[in-house]
Amino acid sequence: PLPVSVTERTYDTVLDLASPASPDDFKTMPLEILAVGSTGTRNLLDLARQQQARFFLASTSEVYGDPLVHPQPETYWGNVSSTGPRSCYDEAKRFSEALAMAYHRTHGTEVRIARIFNTYGERMRPRDGRVVNTFVLQALRNEPLTLHGDGSQTRSFCHVADEIRGLAAVLDGHLTGPINVGNPAEFTMRELAELVVEITGSTSPIIAVPLPDEREGDPLQRCPDIALLSTTYGWAPEVSLREGLARMVSWFTTKEDLT
């Protein structure tokens, strides 16, 4: 249960933004991730119900798993392993979505759900194992940029400034069900690596390495269908990957110890 110092206050909105989300965390914190998506989310839903507050869940594109439909609309149920190395995060978020909708149907709790696709930008943890910050740090150190496999996997990267605008639109909007929030511009991992090298002016080579065991089950492609968000709330991404990476590189250069 939540401490009295939390429950004795008055809230009109409860935000569930918490969860370890780096691929490195899936190996080291699987039980904690599952607890956050179950017990943690239920505690916050109970708080929202008691306070008659709006509940906002930060969900993820990982609910689609390794998708067989491309790009992924909210109506797609996904292609998800319940036992693979990534399952702790994928299934935790799927369960938290199910919990939120159950509270909505059973108790009338006002629910908003955002499915966040790959997001990057300033103030990321430099060494949390995600591909964008890993590539940027490697390039700034003139170290080889390491592609897992042949680099043909695709992702769609949304700058944090655009992501925040999208999340605010979902939070303040009237729709109850999940809404994709992401940038539909799609890049291969090799294209991302080449762009990072260009922007940083690095001498780093780009090399292919075998996929680590803990990355087994990584989706081959991921791209949001943002028609629902765009048509309902008029949202569209504004920051290109080139511009967003330049901002991120500038911030890392001034804030991060690269030694």
Q: How much of the chain, in percent, has pLDDT values that exceed 70?
A: 96
Asked if 64 is an active-site residue, the reply is: no
Q: Which domain holds residue 201?
A: 4-255
Whole-prediction pTM: 0.94
Catalytic residue among 64, 89, 103, 120: 89
Residue 80 confidence (pLDDT) above 80: yes
pLDDT single digits (tens) 99-137: 999 999 999 999 999 999 999 999 998 888 899 999 999
d(CA 79, CA 65): 5
* DSSP conformation class of 210: P
Where does the chain have alpha helices with state H?
4-7, 23-28, 30-35, 41-51, 87-107, 131-140, 160-172, 189-200, 227-233, 241-255
Locus of tokens 């998800």: 80
pLDDT, one tens digit per residue, over 157-181 is: 999 999 999 999 999 999 999 999 9
Residues paired with residue 111 on neighbouring β-strands, in sequence order: 55
For β-strands 186-188 and 119-120, DSSP reports them as unpaired
The total number of structural domains in the chain stands at 1
We report the CATH number of the domain holding residue 82 as 3.40.50.720
